[in-house]
Structure 1
């Protein structure tokens, strides 16, 4: 397989700001394995450095540069493995930053798999338009099945039906739509958007063309039946899948089916699928991921005893890293078991693993959510923040914001404003503030006639939290207009497609 160097054709580091600043995945690039495996010691050391960055939105190129300046070396495969790991845990910005650094700083040649992964990451970090720009500049000889599937997958994830259909038609014309790889993306899109008729037509098209099902095709079918609460449909596809000698079921397959049975309302069958999944873990190359995922699935079904049983097995058979603690913390908190979460947190603190603010934040967030009925829990949350500081680490924006929300529930508005300002002062952290907290802060500053402070507060909301201009303008109008007596901010949600917060409801009078 030839490798092609793209960095000489277009330099995306300056375009995307990396030089100076910080369903189911239905396409795969694992067919291409051009990189030799790095030594485990080299990989672990570099990955630990990246993990210690703590803030998953802060730039990591200085860490990579320092690694090289120290005279350290690592094959390209080490970096590719780290990118894969970061993608698995949805740290897309860091994964993309490493990808860009490899070509712009180290001048490594990019394979087709590298290009497909970069396209996927650009879509997730910067949105569809920049992904299309990248795709349009890829040389023709690199625009193969995997790269087209990456773009199709991005359209499907953004629920852009027409664009997905257009690229699928182009793939048909190029002869790329001959396997389930391309069909799965469109099937999943039709399922997610409720296009039942188009879903059925595409399934018929696959049958007529003799396109065999793969694991993802079966999963999508089962998910579609689960959405319609059609237990018989799930059973039918399961029977077909289990009798298909070309598509064997692994632990991951059964865990996905368990989710569908739960969604369709049959907890008994969901548990049976998780039990089958457990039995297949020992033969998996991803035992660590299996333990972590199955704990969260048992937690979703309220099965505390099974969660703790798996946790003990996990600790017995494998060394536990931060991701293991994240999985068990989220699992026990999902069940509402704060006492177990506290014990696990203490265990993590004494483990001497690299610091990850996500782990204390799980407990801080749980305390403040329950603090509405018990002020002592808000005090516990603050004590966790103090412990973090005493250890020489830094709380992130979410740490301070969780505390602000807790104090607001007990009408300590001045403290709420102080903590929210601390959250906004944290560098490089993107987070979604609670609308009620923001509204309370604005009302407090207006009562104090702190126009200058309020304007700076609003500016930081735009800069650090990607508040839309429309919300910033309404907040400014509220502060500067004497006739405006209340401000209301409804639920805010992150618009992944455009990379901004989306206003659900905002009004000022």
Structure 2
């Protein structure tokens, strides 16, 4: 079975030479291919000589290629056999492979390479509590994330919500007296509240506990949920089973960090130390963008004898989509080798990857193969397709699919409002946004209102966004989540004074300010041209709160300093990002080097820094490295050598 390794990308002399002899590297072609392989390759739209293959007739071994054009290659369209199994339509690999294995194959297929190195990974950060060992790090973190998570939610059978509670959650408000008592508990500890609950003889069965835990998670009050779990075990109020231990692992990872969660697993009874616990830890590694730890846990699951599941593979695909697209091919080949059928989530990830690379034809091919495998694209896949059609300026295709998603009667699919509103706004369809909002206005839920505010903001209709906001406050209390939605509208429209007034209003209402509100405030000041003020606000926020800002907040400030050519402040923000435990990414180095380029200064030692952080440069980074290399020779300097 394959092993995923975090071996340094600079471990060989050949790889080091890639950085210094970029223009002289040869492009390798395939050799000794079987007739079946050649037949499949002829169908590709790009000639074979333009690719970087390393194949053998009877076996395939993924290997690095020295072709510069392949450094940030996007995997080819996913191939699916008639029985739904994966075919690795990626017969090349860029950079250093993370799967050290050989696969015997009789048939291979490939399609055209359509990559775009100018496109960087999109980052969809989760609101993460501090991982510095502070167990109370997220006690005040009830500010919900309103972003779309890039990472698949952990399969949570450990959230043993009874069927009645689930139905309430779908069709109405879920209420729990125990959860309410915990949320209203003063101070940092909830133990006194729980002791009082028992002393008063109130019921504390698994159903009540599960419901309370569910609500605390929904409110992002992970610290208090963790205290509830610890109290239950210490007071022996609940006979723990595997899903209860998995829930604890998940909460520890969110509140205290991955290392503490891994240590806790060792204390779990062996009889309860099953696959679900390690899957939970793996998902948290992905949520925290820790490639090294995620690969380590993936391999540990294999060593423990757990079969490789589509869930685990999807987790790695989510992670690599954000941080290291060249490794996606490895996971697909592993899935094919292990006979793992792709799930709808698998297709959704690959469609999104193709869309990010602007390979619309490849994206549509994946959809066709998805349908051929008996899986119809759901509403989430369709939404991804619409977004990429819009980005590619294929307005007609996007509008046609939107109408198909909408159906004939919106009243039968009320949950569709929050999906359709922003998408129509992306298309610039003011009338359609107004039409849909009129349908759902009188019965709108909180998420529908937030989607409407977002949609009006995209259309620069500030008055309409404010009107929805005020309507919303008549039904729900002002919160950091609702306030942040309108703050983003003000930021996009450079309305600093209105933004300041809203911030004061939120403070007067007692809103808990967290990472997503910080992000909105920072962008508000940046859009108004007050970068230093945004920097100062973020610095004060991180000093006053144990919560961790999201990646994009730092990146917004870093990009502004880089545009100015302000190397000093760019390096300062870069350092603070690393101190905040954000693993170094190519995007961070790309923006930092742009600061040096704009300042017309050499960046001495930047190659060594990238090497230390295991950053393998794509075409953009390689071009930037040439520009900031302080030892680069030009024709004039060579005359004096």
Which protein is bigger by CA-based radius of gyration? 2
| 2:425 counterpart residue number | 299
CA displacement at 1:338 relative to structure 2? 1.0
| 1:358 counterpart residue number | 481
CA-based RMSD of the aligned residues comes to: 5.1
| 1:186 counterpart residue number | 316
| 2:146 counterpart residue number | none
| 1:498 counterpart residue number | 581
Residue 462 of structure 1 pairs with residue 525 of structure 2: no
Residue 139 of structure 1 pairs with residue 265 of structure 2: no
**TM-score, normalising length from structure 2?**
0.52
SS for the counterpart of 2:164 is coil
CA distance in 2, matches of 1:260, 1:34: 37
Which region of structure 1 is more displaced relative to structure 2, 166-175 or 106-115?
106-115
CA distance in 1, matches of 2:393, 2:355: 9
CA displacement at 1:328 relative to structure 2? 2.4
Q: Flag the 1:143–1:459 CA change in 2: closer, same or farther, 3 A.
A: same
Ranges in structure 1 where 5+ consecutive residues have no aligned partner = 1-14, 412-433, 442-456, 469-486
CA distance in 2, matches of 1:228, 1:20: 36
Pairing 1:55-454 to 2, within 5 Å after superposition: 61=190, 65=194, 68=197, 73=203, 76-77=206-207, 80-81=210-211, 83-84=213-214, 87=217, 92-93=222-223, 96=226, 99-100=229-230, 103=233, 107-196=237-326, 198-245=327-374, 247-262=375-390, 266-279=394-407, 289-316=415-442, 318=443, 320=445, 322-351=446-475, 353-364=476-487, 366-367=489-490, 370=493, 378=497, 380-381=498-499, 384=502, 393-397=509-513, 436-437=532-533
CA displacement at 1:65 relative to structure 2? 4.7
CA displacement at 1:230 relative to structure 2? 1.5
Which region of structure 1 is more displaced relative to structure 2, 228-237 or 395-404?
395-404
CA distance in 1, matches of 2:276, 2:408: 29
Pairing 1:469-484 to 2, within 5 Å after superposition: none
CA displacement at 1:114 relative to structure 2? 3.8
CA distance in 2, matches of 1:67, 1:331: 47
Q: Is the 2:395–2:427 contact (alpha carbons within 8 Å) kept by the matching residues of 1?
A: yes
Q: Flag the 1:467–1:86 CA change in 2: closer, same or farther, 3 A.
A: closer
Q: Is the 2:428–2:459 contact (alpha carbons within 8 Å) kept by the matching residues of 1?
A: yes
CA displacement at 1:150 relative to structure 2? 1.8
Residue 17 of structure 1 pairs with residue 135 of structure 2: yes
Q: Is the 2:136–2:255 contact (alpha carbons within 8 Å) kept by the matching residues of 1?
A: no
CA displacement at 1:203 relative to structure 2? 1.5
CA distance in 1, matches of 2:519, 2:360: 42
| 2:29 counterpart residue number | none
| Structure richer in helix, relative to its length | 1
1:418-449, Cα deviation, whole Å (9 max, x unpaired): xxxxxxxxxxxxxxxx86127779xxxxxxxx
Higher relative contact order (CA closer than 8 Å, sequence separation 6+): 2
**TM-score, normalising length from structure 1?**
0.64
CA displacement at 1:211 relative to structure 2? 1.3
Which region of structure 1 is more displaced relative to structure 2, 340-349 or 356-365?
356-365
Which region of structure 1 is more displaced relative to structure 2, 95-104 or 134-143?
95-104
CA distance in 2, matches of 1:19, 1:125: 6
CA distance in 2, matches of 1:403, 1:29: 34
Q: Is the 1:153–1:185 contact (alpha carbons within 8 Å) kept by the matching residues of 2?
A: yes
